[in-house]
Amino acid sequence: MADQLQLHSYWRSSAAYRVRIGLNLKGLDYAIVPVHLVRDGGEQHTPGYHALNPQELVPVLQHGERVLRQSLAILEYLDETWAQHPLLPADSRGRARARALAQTVACEIHPINNLRVLQYFENTWNVPQPEREDWVRHWIGQGFAALEEMLADHPGTGRFCVGDIPGVADCCLVPQVYNARRFGVDLAPYPTITRIEAACLALPAFDAARPENQPDAPRV
Ligand SMILES: N[C@@H](CCC(=O)N[C@@H](CS)C(=O)NCC(=O)O)C(=O)O
């Protein structure tokens, strides 16, 4: 089909997880194209995938002939293309706040803990696993401390990051909390973050996007 949506995704990629949530919130049909980030050195580094995304990162969204990269840009593309369930608030102040929260995760916390960063530590500098994992916990903790302050007691915070409708900030927050749990971050100091995460995961759109519910997740 000409305008079919195809998401190049990896079950445990938090950037792909953001887009899966956005697609589900909008109620859009899409096919998952799995890209295994680890097997055989990583399928993101194959010439075929490089042609789709010279950054060799997931996600990539194909919409018919269009190739879209960068999860936040993809979420905004979805919002501008399909009106149902807006992912950004209607007012400019709300949009600025939603983007600031989303970018705190996507631009500050996530990139320095990415697979390729950890692989560089391991393969180039021989940093042992406990130190690599400590690095991840440190930067998630610092980022979450800031996010918790930005969310707690803010009049713009509701059931979700911005008001009572889940949006782009929640699309970023929930996958980052998944990563935090994966690396054993103590979440007790972040009650607002975990409260919002629980509210999100109770919704089918978030539940269906969970890593363990993906077709390429390992079957246990
Ligand atoms: N800023 C990018 C980040 C994408 C990204 O870092 N994806 C990770 C998975 S979460 C990846 O593909 N990593 C592969 C690698 O590090 O080699 C976005 O938001 O789309």
Alpha carbon nearest to ligand 1 atom 9, residue: 13
- Ligand 1 nearest atom to the CA of residue 115, by list position: 16
The pLDDT assigned to 2 comes to 62
CATH pick for 92-206 out of 1.20.1050.10, 3.40.50.740, 1.10.3720.10, 3.40.50.720: 1.20.1050.10
Position 153 scores a pLDDT of 86
Q: Give, using CA atoms, the residue closest to atom 20 of ligand 1.
A: 70
Over the stretch 4-52, which tens digit does the pLDDT of each residue have?
Answer: 999 999 999 999 999 999 999 999 999 999 999 999 999 999 999 999 9
The pTM score is: 0.98
The pLDDT tens digits of the residues spanning 166-184 come to 999 999 999 999 999 999 9
Is domain 5-85 annotated with CATH 1.20.1740.10?
Answer: no
SS (H, E, C) the chain: CCCCEEEEECCCCHHHHHHHHHHHHCCCCCEEEECCCCHHHCHHHCHHHHHHCCCCCCCEEEECCEEEECHHHHHHHHHHHCCCCCCCCCCHHHHHHHHHHHHHHHHHHCHHHCHHHHHHHHHHHCCCHHHHHHHHHHHHHHHHHHHHHHHCCCCCECCCCCECCCCHHHHHHHHHHHHHHHCCCCCCCCHHHHHHHHHHHCCHHHHHHCHHHCCCCCCC
Q: Ligand 1: which residue has its CA nearest to atom 11?
A: 57
